[in-house]
Structure 1
């Protein structure tokens, strides 16, 4: 800030630090959005078209980093996965992370009910149930992360991933009724 020249991104800085928010699962998304807009106003490459090539490049990389940090921290699922990543844990794509058969059966039944939904009201009802399950998972994941129970948080985030997929399918179904 003091030299009034955009610097290259600092190596190893967390998205939480970039976005000036607490490293917590339940963060204030309005504050996050406000910070995102502030940063983009000051770092956007259009503001540096008359500056040196190096400063333009730094502006582009900083702006891209801010975009990535914002998108990652905005949604609970990507935020939780990122928090696990910071602790050295990863959820592999395409694995069920040890999901039990009862949970998988429940998901199958929800998906079937959604496929068979003939009215927007029925699809919306499934959507509301899914939102409730996602809210419950958010509370459980936050508690697990606060206690440092990373394996529990990882299992809960895997469940959240399934419910987030159902939530997307509900949105698609509802748009199909329009």
Structure 2
């Protein structure tokens, strides 16, 4: 038994040493240190005492750590510029305001912060694209060919991180999967064990119809059907994530993944008619 009131979390990005913990908790783990100082606000946990050694409490501990990890990653920590040693007091800094040199990337920063987006399944794609172009104009390695080797290295890592953040948040499927990843959840590759048998049968019929399509119109009709289903799924996933229904969102994202694959197959089929 220990009081969460006196728990200070130092966030680490490493695998959990306890293999018996739930898989969802092993993606982001925090190291507990007893301290009276706080790097986050624990209004909901303050003055509470939890026996995390009790049966079934490990998942509560993991949820607590995930929430604290998110709060820790958003708190402002003062660091110094590697070049001029001036304090960088912004939450996300690409350049030092004093000497203007590019700073090292922070792999712990979420893609939503990098792209200046709300942590939401619904994003403004046009704003996302503007942010991407703005950052790449500033961070692209070609701009630092005459700079020091260290600054060239930082520009490359920053530019690569921006690329990854942009491509992940651009599409609903990758965006939703990333949001689940931040919660310690994911969809296993190549597994259909969790899919409903009726749904799998429907997929087989759609794939067979696409394979047997003899004209562009027949293939296009299947493509239009997939687009309509993906729009509907997008709305359902958004609602589930807003309500915090992660398991429901995970199941819907699995369906979206299948329909997205069929949509890609439709494009390939249409190219055969050209």
Provide the TM-score with structure 2 as the length reference: 0.64
| RMSD (Å), alpha carbons | 0.8
Deviations 1:96-138 (A, max 9, x none): 2511110001101100110011000110000000000000000
Are 1:84 and 1:150, in contact at CA under 8 Å, matched by a contact in 2? yes
Question: Which structure is richer in relative contact order (CA contacts within 8 A, separation 6 or more)?
Answer: 1
Higher alpha-carbon Rg? 2
Name the CA distance, whole Å, in 1 between partners of 2:122 and 2:193: 23
The unaligned stretches of length 5 or more in structure 1 are none
Kindly indicate whether residue 199 of structure 2 is the aligned counterpart of residue 103 of structure 1. Answer: yes
SS of alignment partner, residue 59 of structure 1:
helix
- Taking the TM superposition and a 5 Å limit, the aligned residue runs for 1:13-162 are 13-96=109-192, 98-162=194-258
SS of alignment partner, residue 88 of structure 1:
coil
Provide the TM-score with structure 1 as the length reference: 0.98
Larger strand share, 1 or 2: 2
Shift of 1:36: 0.4
Pair 1:15–1:121, CA change in 2 (3 A): same
Pair 1:170–1:11, CA change in 2 (3 A): closer
Larger helix share, 1 or 2: 1
The unaligned stretches of length 5 or more in structure 2 are 1-94
Aligned length: 178
